[in-house]
Structures are given as structure tokens and as C-alpha cells.
Amino acid sequence: MTESTQRIAIVTGGSGGIGRAVAERLAADGMSVLVHYAGNPRRAEETVDAIVAAGGTATAFRADVADENEVAALFDEAERRYGGVDVVVHTAGIMLLAPLAELDLDDLDRMHRTNIRGTFVVDQQAARRVRSGGAIINFSTSVTKIALPGYTAYAASKGAVDAMTLILARELRGRDITVNAVAPGPTATPLFLEGKEQSVVDHMASMAPLERLGFPADIAEAVAFLAGPARWVNGQVLYANGGII
């Protein structure tokens, strides 16, 4: 850490859903936040405006998470504007669903590029640049354990994220940097709700003993824990799903 007590966070996919909730929560905890987005600058600016209106500090920056040059520029911007990087939360990802026997292989390749390569590229820059005392937080999914039909390719891509997370934590031995993943269960975001009949949503909400879907704020709470006080939690996948598994 530098002499400044201000911590700096990069949140990928910070323009909506869970990513926006995470960006707003970390800003509320006192961090300056660089809000990454891929293709919707208006939504990213809405996130920034909400953080600033609440008294926080944030700016937006566009990058393709699977492009190493653009991700390097994202980290460059955080260092140029705020002086360094302490927390990286990688929420950016895509979910394309179909049974294994029916999945279009182009969809498999798209998820591989964003969810696997994208995580690898972001983590690579994070491993090189996050300051001592920092945290790297990837995003997995509880579907790797729930094993819902139709999620094969998506869950496989997130299984790769789990592996990267556990091994990177050990590769950063001696750096005082934690590396963990958050694995949400069914969460009420546009990504999850889109295209689902209400009966399906109701069934998935009933799976948890708490008998509801998660909310983005629930997931942001887990991220804030790993990004702040949880210095003895390292190399773990934290399942945030209301007790489904």
C-alpha cells in the first residue's frame, strides 16, 4: 500500500446487475472505483453517477476483458487516475444456455473467450499490479455444484475460473494478496431472469431455505467481505446462494 489510506478498486462488468451493486458497495466502503464496461457507456455512467451522488469517487472505462492490451490499458488508467490498484473484482461474463448435445459450438467459444480467457487476462494484470494488502476476487457460479441441466458449457467455463482462483492464490505467496471467487446462486438480475417463465423463476426461488432469489446487494456483501476484512480467507470459492447447496 502507498502512504495514502485510500484504496482503489477495479470492477469489471460494473455497468449493471451484480457488477453495479459491487461497484456501489465498494465505493460506499470508501474505495475509489474504476467501473469497467464492455459495450454500454450509458449504463456505466449511470453507475458512476450513482456513486458520485452518494458521495463516492468513480470513473468509467471501456475494455474487452479478453484483449490483453485493452485490459492493460484499464489497469494503466486506474494507476494514472488514482495511483494504484488494491482490489480487482472480475464480474464480467456471459451465459449462453442449452443442453450439451444441442449447444452451438460458436456459443461455447464465445463463453470460453469471455469467461475463461477474460478471467485469465484480468487476473494476469491483477497479479502483476495489485498492491500488498490487496484482494483479487473472481466470479464463479453455484451451478458447478447445483448441476442444472442446460448449464453445462457455462458451468464448465466457471469451473475453469475456480481452478485459476485456487492456484493463483498459491502463486502469489509472499505478496500479502488474497485471491478468492464468489459463486452466486440464482440472483435476480436481467442476465438470470431473461427468457425464463415465471414458474421457472418461482421454482428456483423455492430451492433456497430462505425461499427467495438472491439480490445483487447480497452478492456485493460477500465481495465487500473478501475485499476488506477477510484477510484470512484465501484460495477459496465462497458460495453465496442462500443455502441451496
- Of 82, 151, 154, 239, the active-site residue reads 154
177: DSSP letter: -
Is 154 annotated in the active site?
yes
Cα distances (angstroms) measured from residue 68 to each of 33, 74, 229, 240? 21, 10, 30, 30
User: What residue type is 240 in one-letter code?
Assistant: A
Cβ contact 122:65 at 8 Å = yes
The C-alpha angle with vertex 14 and arms to 70 and 42, in degrees rounded to 5, equals 85
Q: List 138's β-bridge partners, or say none.
A: 90, 181
Strand 87-90: give its sheet, edge to edge.
57-62, 32-37, 8-12, 87-90, 135-139, 178-184, 237-240
One-letter amino acid for residue 183 of the chain: A
Residues carrying an active site annotation: 154
